[in-house]
Structure formats: C-alpha cells, structure tokens
C-alpha cells in the first residue's frame, strides 16, 4: 500500500507540473496581447474599451510580462513550491483565498448532484437490466437517452421556468440555502444519472450472463439475493470509473450551470480568470482541478480492489 | 421471476442526499450573504413597509471592494463620490470640490466643499484627496495613464492643486470619472481596503466574495439629506440575462438591467414591472480595420459603405426600438460639444453604388460582386457574442453590403481574437459599446477614436491632430468645444473615418413599486440615487 501511495504522490507532482506548464504556455498563445487584455479587464472592467498605451506599458512592467516565458513559469513554480500561489491580478487577494471561498459551493453542488445521479441512475439501470426488453426497460432507456441528449443549460432554463417562474417553489438563482441548491443539482445530476443508468444496465446484463450467477440461481438463492449479493458488486466496477470521472468533472466546475444560477463555484472563477488573463488564479484552479482528479482516481482504484480483490492482487 | 425490492437501496441513498444537503448548507451559509430566496416569498405581496430594502441583480462581477480597483462601481452605487460628478444632462456638478480653476503652468486648483464628511464622520481634507488619488493611480495604471496627472499638492486643508504632465484643459471632466473617486485610505497591512469609506449617500456594510454580493445601508448624515432607502443589496455576476429577467418577474430582485432584446415587449406588458428605456452614451458602428490600406484608403469606398446601411431598418428590426438612428458620429445627441450640423450619410443605395464605381470598383464579370484590377470586393465582418444585438446586426450589414456588390462573411469571435485580425484585407468590425462619456470630456471619445497617436485603425489627418491639440490647450469652453465640433465635421462629413449606425438605449426593469429611479446616460450603465424608494 505504501508503495502505491508513494508512486501516486510522485505521479501527482509530475502531472501537476505538466498540466500547469501546458496551460501556462497555451495561455500565451491565445489571441490578443496579454498586457492589453489584462488592462481591459482589470482596470477598465469593460472589454469594449481600448486601454491607453501608457497603461499597457505599466502593466507589462508591473507583472514582468517582458521576461521570457520560461523564466516567468519557473518563477511561478518556485513560488508555488514555497506555498505562495501568488495574488490575483484582478482582486489583489491571494489565489488560495480566491479558491477556498468558492470551495464550499463547488463541493456542495458536486456532491449533491452526484448523489442525485446515483439515486436515479443505479436503480434505473438495475431495473432496466433485470427486466430486459420489457416496457420498463424501454422506458428507462428512452429517458436516459433523453437525459444524455438534453443540453444541461436548456434543462436548467426549463427547470427555472417551471419550478421557479411558474410554480414558485424554488428561487431562480442564488446560493446559501437548501432550496437554491435543488435546481442546479437536478440540472447537473440528470445527465450524469442517464450516463450511469445506461452503463449500469449494460454492465448488469453482462454480469447476469456469467456462470457464477447461473450457479447462484441454480443453488436456490432468491433472485433478489443473487442480484444484491453476487451481481451488484461486479456490476459496479465499470460504473465506479464513470462515477469518479463525473464527480471530478463536477468538482472541476460546471461553468454554464454556475453562470445560469449565479452559483459561486470554481468553474466561473476559472472562466472569468481565463478571459481576464489572471494567470495566477488560472494556475491555482488548474492545480486544484488536477489534484481533485488525481485524488478521485486514487479512490476509484482503491475501490476496485475492494469490489474485486483480484484486481488489487494482480497489481502488486 | 421474483420481483426485486429496492426500497432498502433507495432509503439509504435518499438519506445520504438529505444528510449531505443539511450538512453542507449548514457549513456554507455565510452571515453576510443576503437570504434572497427568503426575501422573494414576502416580496410578492410587497407588504414590507417597515424596511426599505432594494435588491439589485447586476450582470457583471464586482471582484473587489477596494475603491482603488472598483471605483466606478462604488461610484455608481453611490458609496464614493468624485471631486466632480456628471448630471443626467451632461453638466459637470461640484461635488466634493465646490469650485475649480486653471491657475497656470499645467496647474488646476480645486476648492473643497467644507461640509463633506466621510461615513466615519471625519471631514474630507485636501490631504485625503491627495492620498486617495495617489493611491488609486498607483493601483490602477490605466487610471494613471488616463488622468495625465504629474503631481497633487496640498495647498491648505481645503485646497488642492493638481499638476498635469502637459497643459490639459480636460482635467475637470476627468475628475468626474468613476475610477477617480475620493475615499478614506484605511488599507490593511496587505495593502488592500476591505471596508471602503466614502462620502456618498450609501454606506458600505458588507461584501460576500463567494456570492459576489454587496450590502449597503443609508448614510443618515448625508449632507443633502438621508436617502429614503434603508438598505441596498447588490447581487453581482448574474451573467445570464434570462435568469435576471425571471428573477425580477418573480420579485426575487427589485431592479435589474439589460434583459434580452426579444423580451422587451413581454416585460413591458407585465403589470408588476416598470420598464425604463433611456439613452446611454454608447453606440453601434462599423469600424474599418485599416484606413491607410486598400480598399479603405479611398474615402469614396468608406462613404459608399456608409450610404449602404439602412439604419432605420436596423433600429426597427434588430435593435427593436432600443436604439435611435445615427448617420453621423458616436457622440450622443444632447451632449454639449456634439456637432449637431453634420450632413451624415442617409441611406442611399444608388449613391453608394456610384461612389464605388467612381473609385474603380465595378462588376466586370457579372457575378454581382464588384471588382477592381482582378481583386474581388470580398471581406469579413467581425463581431463578438457578448452583446446580443451584434451578431444579427452584422448579418444585416452583410445583406446591405451585398446590395452594393460587396461580398462579406460574418465571423463571431472573442474581442481579443478580433483585434489580432486588423491587418486582414478589407476587414470591418461591427462594434457595440463604444462609450463616449466614460470621461465626460470631448477629448475622451475624440482622441481615442481619431487622434493619430491613439486610434488603432491608422486614421491620420494632420488637421484633426492640430484641432485635438488645440482642444487640449485652450481654456475657453466655447472655443474649445468648437475645435472638437470641427473635428467631428472632418472625421464624419469629409473623411468618413467610421460608419456610425445607432445610439444605444439602455433598459432597466424594476418592480413596479420602485420609484424615483433617475437614469443618467453618462453613467455606465446605471446608478442609484438617494431619492429612490419602494412604495
């Protein structure tokens, strides 16, 4: 176990360095001169105004934009290693603070959305598989195809229209209490649940064809017992991968839904920072998202060996 | 087959959802965040005569409450004020400064109003003015570049001298710029201000960064009388116009701005809402990529394009009444220094075709597209998606240019990507925004758009440059404005440097009980005032 963890930590560092370097150099290949873009967003607050040449020169000097890219990157890494992620160009406050204040909102939304998708997706997938080719199966499959195909922004606006505007049950936007969490979570959870349901169904069907299931049924176990004790655990292996990925995706931020519901999450922070070329914040978000993915992957891998001990054994 | 009972699985998952919701909502609730969802329930019945609270939904982000960085926002929400402010009819109003005069040697002297107090009760002194402006210029290089200030000198407690880098007649207008507000310097050890103290009718209460929500309370001691509203809550960063519309229709917010163009009629017919459409000093125009290069180095080509645009059609069908026609220049009617005697370019396809032919552009191969020396007139119209009216405006322009034999393609991309394409042959930017009163002085718009050293499309006219220089250095108001009016005549009627299309009208939607909102076209995009109240 220790060996795995050490290996993982080594990989963590490599992946973080690679991804931040990639993002850093890609940012500089974006159209528009960085100093001009920064002047516009940071000091004019309006993209349609043209900043003065003096302002652009001052910004270049203030933020060392004239230095070679590589040395700018090395400086950033050096500071980051020493725990200094820099300060936001736009707000002058530390990057860690910018990310931390958005963390609760991001985690809440991601967590509730993923739970919701499990709540719908797993039973739907199981029922569809158990009652293969029945009306229930077609019904679940149709719904899940719809769930995958409906764009989440459209679903979000539709939900606001029905539940907030017409019925007045939930607030149209905002953040802070349980009610305002419902619509964003449903908008995000629906597509995820559809993906999970489909995968669950196909995986379940696969497992149900295995010899050990036939044996279990043959030895007289109740059908329910067979599904819950024998089939479910094995069904979960591919599904857990997708759940991990979906969860990572949700934690990394869901820009469109966050924008529609004015939800203060990481996604919105990242996008506004990219448009404003707020490089320290962008880098901070990338580090956060990378680490989140890696941690989730790690947990996913561990859960594999719990679900199927053979996987763990063959690995080390 | 036996039926399966999944009740157990369901119950566990439901419990998990509930527990996590309760746990998270408990730990994330911030004490400063306004409970908007609670408010709306009672709002509908408008039975809240005890507390006058106005809730505003704002499209953009605030990001910071430091007046050195967010001066314009704090000014519009009336927390801070400048030495001078701008009235809805474009006059400079004495605010923190009572009066001002040009002394000599690039020095302007400002005499402060001795009755102006900060929210903490202390008097505003010349030293406060110097500290605030010095600090803002240091934090905001853009402001430093624009103000052109060399030094501030305290003469006595209530007199301050501002010395400019060069002789500069535009300085008083610049002092009305939102970012040049005066505030108390109470910055913390890390160099930022987290509780701004200004002089305006509303006091800062709290700012919740996570929800981008600013809370203000009335300043009881405001020198012109306390505001009628007890408190104002501004929820920033509601970027999605549909969300803002539904929130105001439902009564979750009382006041919002710029809904989608298509919903104007629907909102106007809603009996619970007030819709206010008023001019804002912005416009729509076509901007040539480079007027020093073919095909736009020929003024006849530029004029042909100006004549080809049916502006009335655009205003009626695309801007849906939220604009008025302009065939002259981007300075909003009513502004003192505007030249009201421009001939302009009224829609005339025959004239446009004639001018193109005169310039040598003829359709020699009968394909409907004019050409010259083997080059077809094929261009790209660039525009950006953030302003909903722009893409359809570009498409309308495309079809109007087609009528005079110019073939164009519309491409929608980010602003910064467009500025990389300025050198493309024949490119035109279909632009919106184009603020002309950001700083209430003629130099702001005219220098930025037409001065050789400042414009970004290579427009060069020595006569215009000379007049602009004159405008900077003479102090007689009428003479100065005349110089700028002459510039407008040259750039519009003679040179057709840009093709202006329409003046923008801004739309504010409020709950019907919100009274006394006074639009100020010079403010971007709106501001509140102390006489507003909720009925």
The residue-averaged pLDDT of B117-124 equals 95
Same domain, A174 and A263: yes
Residue A175 has pLDDT above 70, yes or no: yes
A-chain residue closest to B14, CA distance: A119
B14 contact A CB<8A: yes
pLDDT band at B449 (very low <50, low <70, confident <90, very high): very high
> Does one domain contain both A126 and A67?
no
Count interface pairs A-B at CB distance under 8 A. Answer: 211
Query: A50 vs B22: CB contact, 8 Å cut-off?
Result: no
Is residue A206 domain-resident?
yes
Mean pLDDT of B502-509: 94
pLDDT 10s digits, A14-73: 888 898 888 888 887 777 778 888 887 777 766 677 777 777 887 888 788 878 888 888
Instruction: Tell me: do A79 and A169 sit in the same domain.
Output: no
The answer as to whether A167 is a domain residue is: yes
pLDDT of residue A290: 87
* Closest CA–CA distance from residue B10 to any residue of chain A (Å): 7
Does residue A311 lie in a domain region? no
Between the two ends of chain A, the Cα-to-Cα distance in Å is 9
**Interface membership of B143 toward A (CB under 8 Å):** yes
- Measured CA to CA, the distance from residue A311 to residue A234 in angstroms comes to 12
Using pLDDT thresholds of 50, 70 and 90, give the confidence band for residue B48: very low
Indicate the pLDDT class of residue B218, thresholds 50, 70 and 90.
Answer: very high
Q: Residue with structure tokens 């956060």?
A: A288
Q: How many C-beta atoms surround the C-beta of residue B151 within 10 A?
A: 13
The residue with greater pLDDT, B184 or B294, is B184
Under the banding of pLDDT at 50, 70 and 90, the label for residue B47 is: very low
Q: Is A32 close to B417, i.e. CB distance below 8 A? A: yes
Based on the domain organization, do A202 and A136 belong to the same domain?
Answer: yes
List of chain B residues whose C-beta atoms are within 8 Å of the C-beta of residue A119: 10, 13-14, 17
Architecture of domain B8-77+188-254+513-534: 3-Layer(aba) Sandwich (3.40)
Check which CATH number belongs to the domain holding A113 and give it: 1.10.3720.10
Q: How would residue B10 be classed by pLDDT, with cut points 50, 70 and 90?
A: low
Q: Is the pLDDT of residue B26 over 70?
A: no
Same domain, A271 and A150: yes
Write the CB contacts of B441 (distance below 8 Å, at least 6 apart in sequence).
B170, B172, B173, B174
pLDDT of residue A61: 82
Q: Which residue has the tokens 């474009």?
A: B90
Higher pLDDT, A112 or A254: A112
Q: What is the mean pLDDT of chain B?
A: 88
Chain segment B79-90, per-residue pLDDT in tens: 999 999 999 999
Fold of B279-505: Dipeptide-binding Protein; domain 3 (3.10.105)
Closest alpha carbon to A113 in A278, A274, A243, A307: A243
CA distance A245 to chain B (A): 19
Q: Mean per-residue pLDDT for A203-226?
A: 85
Q: What are phi and psi of A96, to 5 degrees?
A: -60, -40
Residue B124 confidence (pLDDT) above 90: yes
The Cα–Cα gap between B212 and B101 comes to: 40
CB-based contact A171 B246, cutoff 8 Å: no
- CB hemisphere CA count around A129 (13 angstroms): 24
The per-residue pLDDT for A7 is: 83
Concatenate the DSSP letters of all residues of B58-101 into one string.
-SS------TTTSHHHHHHTTSSB-SEEE-TTS-EEESSEEEEE
Structure tokens at A257: 């839904």
Domains of chain B, by residue range, sit at 8-77+188-254+513-534, 84-180, 279-505
Does B387 have pLDDT greater than 70? yes
Closest CA–CA distance from residue A194 to any residue of chain B (Å) = 17
pLDDT tens digits along B353-368? 999 999 999 999 889 9
Domain count, chain A: 2
Domain assignment present for residue A269? The answer is yes
Rounded distance between C-alpha atoms, residue A23 and residue A58, angstroms: 25
Q: Pick B512 or A60 by higher pLDDT.
A: B512
For residue A160, is it within any domain? yes
A275 interaction partners in chain B (CB closer than 8 Å)? 414
Residues of chain A neighbouring B386 (CB-CB closer than 8 A): 47
Closest by Cα among A256, A266, A199, A207 to A231: A207
Instruction: For residues A188 and A128, state if they share a domain.
Output: yes
Please state, in angstroms and as integers, the Cα–Cα distance from residue B200 to each residue in B71, B73, B136, B174, B185, following that order: 12, 13, 18, 19, 15
**A313 or A199: which carries more pLDDT confidence?**
A199
Please tell me which of the candidates A53, A262, A275 has its beta carbon nearest to residue B237.
A262
Q: What is the pLDDT of residue B46?
A: 43
Chain B interface includes A50 (CB < 8 A) = yes
> Contact at 8 Å (CB) between B466 and B239?
no
Confidence of residue A299 (pLDDT cuts 50, 70, 90): confident
pLDDT of residue B413: 87
pLDDT of residue B24: 47
Residues A79 and A215 occupy one common structural domain:
no
- B395 preceded by a cis bond (ω within 30 of 0): no
Contacts of A123 in chain B (CB under 8 A): 6, 9-10
Q: Are residues A50 and A192 in the same domain?
A: no
CATH number for domain B84-180, candidates 3.40.630.30, 3.40.50.300, 1.10.150.110, 3.90.76.10: 3.90.76.10
Higher pLDDT, B2 or A260: A260
pLDDT over 80 at B522, yes or no:
yes
Interface of A with B in 98-127 (CB under 8 A): 101-102, 104-105, 107-108, 111-112, 115-116, 118-119, 122-123, 126-127
SS3 at position B281: strand
Domain interval for residue A44: 31-84
- For residue A148, the model assigns a pLDDT of 86
State residue A50's pLDDT score: 74
Two tokens at B151?
């030094």
């Amino acid at each position: 176990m220790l060996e795995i963890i050490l290996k993982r930590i080594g990989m963590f560092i490599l992946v973080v360095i690679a991804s931040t370097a990639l993002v850093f150099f890609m940012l500089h290949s974006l159209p528009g001169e960085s100093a001009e873009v920064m002047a516009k967003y940071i000091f004019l607050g309006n993209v349609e105004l043209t900043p003065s040449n003096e302002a652009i020169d001052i910004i270049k000097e203030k933020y060392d934009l004239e230095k070679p890219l590589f040395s700018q990157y090395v400086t950033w890494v050096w500071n980051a290693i020493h725990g200094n992620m820099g300060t936001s160009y736009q707000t002058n406050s530390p990057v860690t603070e910018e990310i931390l204040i958005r963390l609760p909102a991001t985690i809440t939304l991601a967590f509730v959305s993923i739970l919701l998708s499990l709540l719908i997706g797993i039973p739907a997938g199981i029922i569809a598989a158990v009652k293969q080719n029945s009306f229930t199966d077609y019904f679940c499959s149709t719904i899940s195809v719809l769930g995958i195909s409906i764009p989440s922004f459209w679903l979000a606006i539709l939900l606001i229209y029905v539940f907030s505007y017409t019925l007045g049950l939930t607030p149209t936007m905002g953040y802070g209490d349980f009610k305002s969490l419902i619509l964003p979570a449903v908008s995000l959870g629906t597509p995820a649940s559809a993906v999970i349901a489909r995968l669950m169904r196909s995986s379940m069907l696969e497992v149900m064809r295995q010899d050990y299931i036939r044996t279990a049924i043959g030895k007289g176990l109740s059908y329910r017992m067979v599904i819950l004790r024998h089939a479910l655990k094995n069904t979960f292996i591919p599904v857990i991968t997708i759940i991990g990925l979906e969860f990572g995706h949700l934690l990394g931020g869901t820009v469109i839904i966050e924008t529609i519901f004015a939800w203060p999450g990481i996604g919105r922070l990242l996008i506004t920072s990219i448009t404003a070329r707020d490089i320290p914040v962008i880098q901070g978000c990338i580090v956060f998202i990378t680490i989140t993915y890696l941690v989730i992957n790690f947990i996913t891998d561990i859960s594999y060996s719990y679900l199927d001990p053979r996987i763990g054994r063959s690995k080390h | 087959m036996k039926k399966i009972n999944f009740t157990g699985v369901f119950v566990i998952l439901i419990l998990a959802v509930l527990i996590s919701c309760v746990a998270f909502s408990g730990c994330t609730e911030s004490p400063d965040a306004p409970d908007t969802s609670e408010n709306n329930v009672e709002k509908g019945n408008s039975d809240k005569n005890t507390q006058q609270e106005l809730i505003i939904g704002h499209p953009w982000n605030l990001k910071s409450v430091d007046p050195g960085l967010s001066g314009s926002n704090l000014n519009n929400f009336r927390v801070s004020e400048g030495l001078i402010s701008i009235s809805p009819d474009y006059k400079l109003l004495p605010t923190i400064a009572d009066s001002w005069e040009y002394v000599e040697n690039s020095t302007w002297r400002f005499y402060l109003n001795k009755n102006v107090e900060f929210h903490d009760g202390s008097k505003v002194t010349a030293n406060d003015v110097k500290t605030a402006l010095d600090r803002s210029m240091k934090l905001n290089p853009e402001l430093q570049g624009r103000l052109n200030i060399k030094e501030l000198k305290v003469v006595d407690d209530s007199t301050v001298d501002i010395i400019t880098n060069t002789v500069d007649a535009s300085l008083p207008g610049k002092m009305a710029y939102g970012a040049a507000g005066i505030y108390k310097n109470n910055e913390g050890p890390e160099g930022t201000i987290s509780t701004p103290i200004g002089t305006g009718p509303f006091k800062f209460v709290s700012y919740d960064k996570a929800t981008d929500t600013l809370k203000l309370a009335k300043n009881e001691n405001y020198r012109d009388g306390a505001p009628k509203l007890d408190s104002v809550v501004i929820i920033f960063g509601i970027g999605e116009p549909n969300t803002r519309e539904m929130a105001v229709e439902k009564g979750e917010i009382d006041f919002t701005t710029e809904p989608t163009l298509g919903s104007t009629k629907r909102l106007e017919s809603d009996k619970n809402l007030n819709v206010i459409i008023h001019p804002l000093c912005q416009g729509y125009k076509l901007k040539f990529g480079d007027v020093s290069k073919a095909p736009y180095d020929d003024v006849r080509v530029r004029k042909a394009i100006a004549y080809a645009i049916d502006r009335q059609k655009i205003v009626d069908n695309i801007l849906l009444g939220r604009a008025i026609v302009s065939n002259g220049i981007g300075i909003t009617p009513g502004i003192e220094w505007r030249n009201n005697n421009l001939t302009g370019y009224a829609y005339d396809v025959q004239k446009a075709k004639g001018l193109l032919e005169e310039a040598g552009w003829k359709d020699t191969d009968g394909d409907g597209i004019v050409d010259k020396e083997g080059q077809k007139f094929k261009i790209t119209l660039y525009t950006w998606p953030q302003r909903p009216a722009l893409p359809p405006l570009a498409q309308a322009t495309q079809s109007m240019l087609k009528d005079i034999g110019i073939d164009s393609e519309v491409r929608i991309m980010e602003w910064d990507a467009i500025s990389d394409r300025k050198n493309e042959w024949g490119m035109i930017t279909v632009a919106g925004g184009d603020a002309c009163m950001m700083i209430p002085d003629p130099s702001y718009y005219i220098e930025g758009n037409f001065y050789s050293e400042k414009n970004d499309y290579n427009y060069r006219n020595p006569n215009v440059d000379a007049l602009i220089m004159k405008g900077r250095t003479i102090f007689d108001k009428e003479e100065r404005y005349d110089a700028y009016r002459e510039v407008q005549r040259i750039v519009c009627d003679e040179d057709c440097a840009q093709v202006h299309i329409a003046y923008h009208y801004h739309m504010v939607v409020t709950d019907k009980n919100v009274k006394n909102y006074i639009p100020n076209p010079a403010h971007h995009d709106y501001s509140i005032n102390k006489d507003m109240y909720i009925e």
